[in-house]
Structure 1
């Protein structure tokens, strides 16, 4: 049964490392959450390691710049594993071909920067859908637009047998008080239409493999039973932790704040009803990371 805890410090002594989601846990898409930052700083001061594990479709360096912009200090984390880096590695290995139809915002062009970690990477060329061998999706061109606008393109892509590489499996995020679509919503639509989508962020294994490599590079490896995953998405953060057999702390005041009736803490009955409906089993729950 999921245990509601008052603070991270209540349980953090049981773990040597944290895999921490960013959006909805450490920042709200606009600014840092001070209590969350303080909790991570305190944990690190006690000797724990913090790997930020995010479904952001950007390289690690881009996320680091964004953290500075949001006001998340460097001493709140040790390293970053992004869905973007995991997906980029697959793209440069040629999993969706070399001629790519790109779906995303202009700011996500950094996804196509050369990746020197891959031996003999393929040469990626962005082309029209008619010429494409595969699709890379970092998110909708307009995160607030009607997703059905993509149906004509997806119908053609399905007929051509194109695979869609999804750089961010999240369905939605909240930017402040505004909810926006993510790449996962488009990948879901493409799959529903009969296309094939490939995922590399949470809850899928590749990003956890990357997070473990980032963690091991900091020193001695950490056993899975000494890692705690923290996040606000039951279908991404918590499902991923369950799949990796690591403990999890569900932040109920993020995407599920209404369903869990979270003010400062979740309503216990509402929380249990929600996680039962989603067939989820987080180890712990808390309203907000603190």
Structure 2
């Protein structure tokens, strides 16, 4: 990005560049945006509990008349996402609907409406934990217990918390040797569960592509189909009334750009350590500018968290 600006603006906050404003919260945006697409992990919750102020912020947006859709790169179906939200303590009253990467992947395998998915065989092996086995409950496939019996792989993430890429390289090598296509149901590379970093399906799929030349179909943010579906749920509103809120520059923010909607980047999520941002605080403007340059993204706003 060009035309750096590090001056303070009393009304709108700090200008990081000609593209991104640092704001202390969302209150000033409640009249500008009445359709919200909100990320879950790192924005609304940390995998264990709601993040401070997040529920109250969405309640305030709702009271102002906003329609709110939650959009997650959760690698399983929407029904599972709703169950997780309830377990974490996110009330259904603060959002209208939920959609996720796992759901759109499941539908793509079922419908086979594009050439890539239409070429898949029926037998699918899962790389993921047992709790993701319902992804194999699909009229478009038969479950394969072993890679050697499979026509393709569905990757939902590591089987256990704490696993690293090294735990899967041999398995990925066997899949590549068999020339098995892979369906990745979560493009995220990593996530914070509480304060602990864990790899996601995207890290495994990326390794499959880069180390072994594997053929991967990616589903979820930042790819356009998942945004098209959420915008359809919102009755295809004017794009300048829609705001994407999330902590992933390569997923939430990049996807918003693809969908031609504004994005608010939550700096207190997965990038907080990299930015040197303490909880509930904005990072140094130069740190944010450097990170945005590195990843090639320009969110309209940056916020410390999902706070009013």
Shorter chain as normaliser: what TM range? over 0.9
Q: 1:223 to 1:35 in 2, by over 3 A?
A: same
RMSD: 1.4
Aligned length, in residue pairs? 280
Q: 1:83 aligned to 2:101?
A: yes
Corresponding residue of 2:135: 111
Per-residue CA deviations over 1:97-150 (Å, capped at 9, x if unaligned) read 210111000111222334xxxxxx424323311121100011011242231232
Q: Does structure 1 conserve the Cα–Cα contact (< 8 Å) formed by 2:126 and 2:133?
A: no
Q: Does structure 2 conserve the Cα–Cα contact (< 8 Å) formed by 1:266 and 1:286?
A: no
Give the SS at the match of 1:274: helix
Q: 1:225 aligned to 2:240?
A: yes
Corresponding residue of 1:273: 290
Q: Does structure 2 conserve the Cα–Cα contact (< 8 Å) formed by 1:82 and 1:201?
A: yes
Give the SS at the match of 2:277: coil
Cα distance in 2 for residues equivalent to 1:268 and 1:12:
24
Match of 1:203 among 213, 222, 232: 222
Match of 2:273 among 255, 258, 270: 258
Cα distance in 1 for residues equivalent to 2:92 and 2:182:
34
Q: 1:236 aligned to 2:251?
A: yes
Match of 1:136 among 148, 151, 154: 154
Q: Does structure 2 conserve the Cα–Cα contact (< 8 Å) formed by 1:93 and 1:122?
A: yes
Q: 1:59 aligned to 2:74?
A: no
Poorly superposed stretches of 4+, deviation over 3 Å: none
Decide which moves more: 148-157 or 173-182.
148-157
Q: Does structure 2 conserve the Cα–Cα contact (< 8 Å) formed by 1:51 and 1:81?
A: yes
Output the TM-score relative to the length of structure 1. 0.93
What is the Cα deviation at residue 172 of structure 1?
A: 0.4
Cα distance in 1 for residues equivalent to 2:135 and 2:296:
34
What is the Cα deviation at residue 262 of structure 1?
A: 1.5
Q: Does structure 1 conserve the Cα–Cα contact (< 8 Å) formed by 2:25 and 2:304?
A: no
Cα distance in 2 for residues equivalent to 1:215 and 1:143:
35
Q: 1:102 aligned to 2:126?
A: yes
Q: Does structure 1 conserve the Cα–Cα contact (< 8 Å) formed by 2:76 and 2:135?
A: yes
Cα distance in 1 for residues equivalent to 2:76 and 2:176:
26
Q: Does structure 1 conserve the Cα–Cα contact (< 8 Å) formed by 2:185 and 2:220?
A: yes
Q: Does structure 1 conserve the Cα–Cα contact (< 8 Å) formed by 2:164 and 2:199?
A: no
Corresponding residue of 1:19: 37
What is the Cα deviation at residue 30 of structure 1?
A: 0.2
Q: Does structure 1 conserve the Cα–Cα contact (< 8 Å) formed by 2:125 and 2:146?
A: yes
Q: 1:32 to 1:267 in 2, by over 3 A?
A: same
Can you give the 5+ residue segments of structure 2 that lack an aligned partner in the other structure?
1-18
Output the TM-score relative to the length of structure 2. 0.87
Cα distance in 1 for residues equivalent to 2:80 and 2:125:
22
Give the SS at the match of 1:201: coil
Q: Does structure 2 conserve the Cα–Cα contact (< 8 Å) formed by 1:259 and 1:271?
A: no
Q: 1:8 aligned to 2:26?
A: yes
Match of 2:140 among 122, 145, 153: 122
Per-residue CA deviations over 1:176-195 (Å, capped at 9, x if unaligned) read 01110100000000001200
Per-residue CA deviations over 1:67-107 (Å, capped at 9, x if unaligned) read 11111111211100111100100122352321011100011
